[in-house]
Structure 1
């Protein structure tokens, strides 16, 4: 009887330790998620301030933008992150993210293929992005009929 009680106590202690480690791991993940939210808030604040700015091919701010000039501008002026100049170069400089792992602040790459990226916007949640296009800087659906989403990328 004493042996089985000892085994049961050891098993229970092991279970408690595993649960504790799991809870601590989850708390750690929540902390990093909150940091991501804070960073997104900073980037989105800059992006939102440019709503309505006109589209001008090759423009990178502060009063007019093309798509990659816009994403470069908002990351540089909010987090100090320098993104390459073109949508294709930004595609190559970001880490690929699956659609199911998409987070606010990730970049949405649009084109005919991974070798032909011609547009980029920033995901803002609820199926929408903010981007600079022929109607200027606007919020719009990511999966609009006129876009062919090729990939998503996370800015390091």
Structure 2
């Protein structure tokens, strides 16, 4: 077992999220190992754990627990699948109790604009994928990577926003004000 994983499990109280019919996980170690997160993303998990606040680290790890959940237009849960904004909304609500608007353009309008150079794990990244601004959203995880629900036929996954496709369509970065939690 990776040396930092037990500390990660102790500091992050993350519920295991699974698609219908999926195996129920009793601990984060089993969930992350079975989903291949440690093998595929160990460096990002460790980076998030070592360089960001516990709140941001928990949010990023929680988002990673949704890897491989199917995309579903209008979806907002692991059971039914996610679209991009439903995924972001669910992660923020379940991780921090923060309720974000439902649509990606509304999420952009409701959050603080930051420069791309200021991105920190847990920030939102927006892209123009449908010939309109802020038509796609994901959660920045560090080192140029973000996690998102990409499109019909795909699953929640992590990608590098520096790739030509994403770089060309980048619309902006936003930070969620987590200080004003809703009851």
TM-score normalised by structure 2 residue count:
0.62
Segments ≥4 residues shifted beyond 6 Å? none
1:43 aligns with 2:59: yes
Give the alignment partner of residue 62 of structure 1, picking from 72, 78, 95: 78
What secondary structure, in the 3-state scheme, does the structure 1 residue paired with 2:122 have? coil
116 and 43 in structure 1: CA distance in 2 versus 1, 3 angstrom threshold = same
- Cα drift, residue 99 of structure 1: 1.3
Q: In the alignment, is the contact (CA less than 8 A) between 2:138 and 2:149 conserved in 1?
A: yes
| Superposition deviation, residue 111 in structure 1 | 1.1
After TM superposition, the score normalised by the length of structure 1 is: 0.73
Aligned residues: 122
Higher-Rg structure is 1
List runs of 5+ in structure 2 lacking aligned partners.
1-49, 178-183
Q: Determine which structure has the larger helix proportion and give its number.
A: 1
- List runs of 5+ in structure 1 lacking aligned partners: 1-33
Q: CA RMSD in A?
A: 2.0
Match of residue 25 from structure 1: none
Aligned equivalents of 1:111, 1:93: Cα separation in 2: 18
Deviations 1:10-55 (A, max 9, x none): xxxxxxxxxxxxxxxxxxxxxxxx9x51111211122111100000
Q: Secondary structure at the match of 2:106?
A: helix
